[in-house]
Amino acid sequence: MFTNFVLRYRRIAIVCVHLFLIVLSNLLAFLLRFEWAVPSAYYYMIGVTLPVVAFIRLGVFYFFDLHSGLWRYASTRDLVQIIKAVVLSSVVIGLIIYPVLDFQFYPRSILVLDAVFVIVLMGGVRLGTRILREKARLTIHEKKGVFIYGAGDAGELLLRDMLKNPGYTLHAAGFIDDDKKKTGLKIHSVPVLGTGKELDDLIEKYDPEEIIIAIPSAKPAQIQKIMNGCKKHKIALKTLPSLRDVIKGQISVNQIRDISIEDLLFRDPVTINPENVRDLVCGKRVLVTGAAGSIGSELCRQILQHNPRSLILYDRNENGLYFLDHELGEKYSRDFFSVVIGDICDMNRLYMKFKKFKPEIVFHAAAYKHVPLMEDNVIEGVKNNVQGTWNVMELSDQFGVETFVQISTDKAVNPTSVMGASKRIAEMALRHMNTISRTKFIVVRFGNVLGSSGSVVPLFREQIKKGGPVTVTHPDIQRFFMTIPESVQLVLQAASMGKGGEIFVLDMGEQIKIVDLAKNMITLSGLIPEKDIKIVFSGLRPGEKLYEELFDTDEKILSTSHEKINMALSTTNGIDAEKFFDQLIGLQVLALGGDKDGVLEKMKELIPAYNQTPVDINQIIPM
């Protein structure tokens, strides 16, 4: 009720302002035409035509809905509407004054001057209201000074959103742009202060609290360069959403987000052929083991996008399955997926679920992955990563699964850990199974994924949150990294390409030094490495290597139809199937019997290159 009253009153007030401006414009037009001394002979004509002018203009303004806009959001679109309305009303006024009222001596220049004055006054009042409101807002609210890096379309959209929303706590202190020609120019009265090369000095001079990178197409190298300019200062780095939103003109302050460590991966975006992936899983019954894990859960998310007939989520992690079930249940009908709590080492449970669901595609992502833990829990590592994998493969063969995809790791190459050796044996077992089964058995091998549970990124984030120190095992330790969605995209693509027996290896790019990762994460938090947050080197842990490898020395690298997926082809004559099978059974018997030393000896027998202890020099931490 009150809102309706206010709206009605506001519109009446706007009509009154419009009427005043119309009368003022007309009188000003006459005064200017006759150099501020209007002859008395024109008084009668003005008295007759002015009400006509006012009535016509108000009517046309109503038709163009000029009385309902909020002036504090005035824009060029409003100005265009005003111009249209004034031009149309001037034409109508001319048609009334000359043919109808027969005022042939009515100066035609008055029509032009009157129209110009109306446009200027109506546009000026709206613009003035917006400027006054924005100035008042800046004095009332305490604003956080920020630099906008990028004086392009995205930066302009962001600044415009800042200016028109009084609730925001951001105030643009200036633009930074690498184009020197833009320095000194202004966008909505905000200056372009300089280029990225001057960033250090500009931060020192203006002391902004944040830098918002308004370059949605910025490459990781460019972001890293901006970060390097901020390393001496306590300043937070933010960024904007995708280029698609910029094209749509949908940039707003609410979309600003922290720069994530994923933004700094020096990798080109992954492109896959969705048709191939759709052909693999669409209309099929798909089983994912380890479904609650980082890779397994992302597999479930992406597989459901390709319309499988059913998806079975298999894991023994009750909490993880609960949250994944809740997440997927909000997007998809539970008719399309089933949640099963079960252990891959429990053959009975596995058999019952294979019998019930009859999967056609199996993605085997269940595994123990933490290297130091598996060094202390050898038996469980072998039971899960070897025996459990064999159980799933054996049932896949028994129930006629079309395609079996095993997720493997770079730690399986020249292994120095129980975890790596167990995954290598699982690879060997899969290649053996492929020779005796109609099922297509495929391995997809890749390195670390950013943000997975228990990985360094969440650990570093938590340590930074607590004020440090950040612990790194060795100054020279380095690892391959890939984002979880990217790795799963390529796993699905590789699976669609497999004919059986292949070991596909994902292109992980260059290895990243963990200490550099730690420094970048500290800088992204708006802190200074070694000054605000210390980095402590704790020494290599049992089973760890300084660097990882994606291909063994006896493997030949073959390219595939996808630029990001290679294939590892063994150059040896292969393994004695009967001997390998006996060794594999022997390993499982020793593991079930709890014979740790026997298990380690059998693993070395299966993998002669397996060296459980890294070279001593790698353990040394330079002082």
pLDDT, averaged per 10 consecutive residues of the chain (623 residues), comes to 52 83 88 87 87 88 76 69 88 88 86 89 79 58 75 84 71 88 88 89 87 80 81 80 49 64 65 86 95 93 93 95 94 92 95 96 94 92 94 96 94 91 93 92 88 77 86 88 87 92 87 85 80 87 83 86 87 74 89 91 88 50 40
From 411, 440, 519, 564, the catalytic residue: 411
In a domain, 211, yes or no: yes
| Whole-number Å distance between alpha carbons of 25 and 115 | 8
pLDDT for residue 499: 92
Kindly state whether residues 339 and 373 are assigned to the same domain: yes
Q: How many domains does the chain have?
A: 3
Q: Which domain holds residue 51?
A: 2-137
Kindly state whether residues 279 and 393 are assigned to the same domain: yes
In a domain, 423, yes or no: yes
Q: Is there a contact between 545 and 420 (Cβ–Cβ < 8 Å)?
A: no
Residues in the chain, total? 623
CATH number at residue 154: 3.40.50.720
| Helix 76-95 / helix 43-63 crossing angle, nearest 10 deg | 130
In a domain, 329, yes or no: yes
* Paired sense of beta strands 361-364 and 337-341, if any: unpaired
Kindly state whether residues 126 and 197 are assigned to the same domain: no
Phi, psi angles (nearest 5°) of residue 105: -95, 5
In a domain, 623, yes or no: no
Kindly state whether residues 130 and 243 are assigned to the same domain: no
Q: Examine the residue annotation and report whether 234 is marked as an active-site residue of this protein.
A: no
Kindly state whether residues 218 and 279 are assigned to the same domain: no
Kindly state whether residues 490 and 463 are assigned to the same domain: yes
Kindly state whether residues 123 and 148 are assigned to the same domain: no
Q: Is there a contact between 258 and 238 (Cβ–Cβ < 8 Å)?
A: yes
Kindly state whether residues 247 and 281 are assigned to the same domain: no
| Whole-number Å distance between alpha carbons of 304 and 286 | 10
Question: CA triplet 476, 490, 247: central angle to 5 degrees?
Answer: 95
| Whole-number Å distance between alpha carbons of 427 and 378 | 18
Domain boundary among 234, 259, 284: 259
The arrangement of strands across the sheet holding 210-213 comes to 186-187, 190-194, 170-176, 144-149, 210-213, 236-239, 257-258
Kindly state whether residues 146 and 108 are assigned to the same domain: no
| Whole-number Å distance between alpha carbons of 251 and 59 | 36
List the one residue out of 358, 375, 412 whose CA is nearest residue 551. 412
Kindly state whether residues 205 and 300 are assigned to the same domain: no
In a domain, 264, yes or no: no
pLDDT for residue 257: 72
In a domain, 268, yes or no: no
In a domain, 427, yes or no: yes
Domain boundary among 200, 233, 259: 259
Residues contacting residue 315 through CB under 8 Å, at least 6 positions apart? 289, 290, 291, 292, 293, 296, 321, 340, 341, 342, 366
pLDDT for residue 574: 64
Kindly state whether residues 18 and 95 are assigned to the same domain: yes
pLDDT for residue 297: 94
Task: Report pTM.
Answer: 0.68
Residues contacting residue 518 through CB under 8 Å, at least 6 positions apart? 456, 460, 470, 472, 529, 535
pLDDT for residue 348: 95
Kindly state whether residues 394 and 333 are assigned to the same domain: yes
| Whole-number Å distance between alpha carbons of 189 and 138 | 14
In a domain, 267, yes or no: no
Domain boundary among 259, 287, 320: 259
